[in-house]
Amino acid sequence: MRGYRDLAEELRQRINDGEFAAGETLPRIIDLIDTYGLSRQTVRDAIGVLADEGLVVTMGKGGTIVRNRTRIRIPLSRYSRVLAPGGSRGPWETACAEQGLDGRMKVVHVARGEGPPDVAELLGVAPDAELLHRRRYAMIGSDDVVQVQHVWYAAALADEAGISSDGKVIGGIFGALAAAGHVPATASEQIDSRMPTPNEAAQLKISGKVPVIAVQRLTKAADGRVLEVLRSTAPADRVQLTYDDLPLE
């Protein structure tokens, strides 16, 4: 074996062949040095290549973990299925359940106050109006963060719909809005691809060289009023946004 690219290719093949499954730890650097007769820096460089490709995550003393790359299919129809109040799953959990996956939504932070000026403008409120901001993780299982979501509402609307608490909204926010008489009628999504910010990379446990899909979704009532502004970020190799049977007229 000549250098770090050769070692990276060897490890890449072993990962893709399933020898090292998602969540498993690669051999320690010292073991790779002994096995392949390479220097410590050469081994580190090889692991760096795999991290940049999104195959592994380096966890310091926790070792190098093979990254879960299960792709989640997210259909546009996930919204219409959760409008009825009283359900137990939101859109993310619904989409995951249909693929046999343990989808979970974890609320990380809830705060009231002024929001970004462009968000206030989208919501049709004054720049200094009180907004409710919810940051949450769309997850598989208890520790696999697939999406980071930031969501904003006019604070008065959030209070009326009962979505102002720190806890998870059982059945999803769409159902809660509908139950309060603010029925979501349309959802418009703008999708961009870019490189992650350092904070996003840390939250998603990816290298800063793994591209992400950034989605902005505006949820509106039948009268055109924006009820919710959502901005989410996910590794581009983890989500598949699907828009089926869109009308062409």
User: Which tens digits make up the pLDDT trace of 120-175?
Assistant: 999 999 999 999 999 999 999 998 999 999 999 999 999 999 999 888 887 778 88
pTM of the model: 0.86
Domain boundaries, the chain: 4-66, 72-242
Distances (CA, A) of 3 to 119, 160, 210: 50, 62, 23
The percent of residues above 70 in pLDDT, for the chain, comes to: 94
CATH 3.30.300.30 is held by the domain 4-66: no
CA dist 85 and 47 (Å) reads 48
Amino acid at 99: Q
* Helix (H) or strand (E) segment spanning residue 41: helix 40-52
Question: Could you say which of 1.10.3720.10, 3.20.20.10, 1.40.20.10, 3.40.1410.10 is the CATH number of the domain covering 72-242?
Answer: 3.40.1410.10
Angle at 189 (CA atoms; ends 141, 123), nearest 5 degrees: 100
Q: Which residues of the chain have pLDDT under 70?
A: 1, 78-88, 249
- Are 124 and 225 within 8 A, CB to CB? yes
Tell me the two tokens of residue 76: 């546009």
Q: What angle do CA 219, 223, 227 make, to 5 degrees?
A: 30
∠ CA 127-132-134, nearest 5°, is 125
Check residue 12 and give left, alpha or beta (phi > 0: left; psi -120 to 50: alpha). alpha
